[in-house]
Amino acid sequence: QVQLVESGGGLVQAGGSLRLSCAASGLTFRNSAMGWFRQAPGKEREFVAAISWSGSTTYYADSVKGRFTISRDNAKNTVDLQMTSLKPEDTAVYYCAADRHLGQLPRTSVGYDYWGQGTQVTVSS
């Protein structure tokens, strides 16, 4: 059974930083592209960042480029999202996602097969 468990969310002031982590189990992590998505109240889930199985390729949404960094540790089966210069509009539930198809790096939610339960990030102004 595949499990993705996010942690690290919380309340932070604008301009601050948070580091989210996602621990994966039950899948061949080193073969899986990983992504982070977020969903704010009343809005659709949106792409934030993605990283290839090797970590050599990363993609970011324009809204977070230069502020967020995605990374992975295939030895620990974890993927992190370092968030800096946070803005109130970054407030959302953040989800970790895994794609079990080797060689792909999706930037839409339909490309991912497994999802975590989400972690709340709230940025106060």
Please report where in the chains the tokens 């942690």 appear, as a residue.
7
C-alpha distances in angstroms, 123 versus 12, 56, 84?
5, 30, 11
E strand spans, the chain: 3-7, 10-13, 18-25, 33-39, 46-51, 58-60, 68-73, 78-83, 92-99, 114-115, 119-124
User: What is d(CA 53, CA 74) in angstroms, rounded to the nearest whole number?
Assistant: 8
Query: Is 24 a residue whose pLDDT tops 90?
Result: yes
pLDDT in tens, 48-95: 999 999 999 999 999 999 999 999 999 999 999 999 999 999 999 999
Query: Is 103 a residue whose pLDDT tops 90?
Result: no
Q: What pLDDT score does 101 carry?
A: 85
Q: What pLDDT score does 46 carry?
A: 97
Q: What pLDDT score does 30 carry?
A: 92
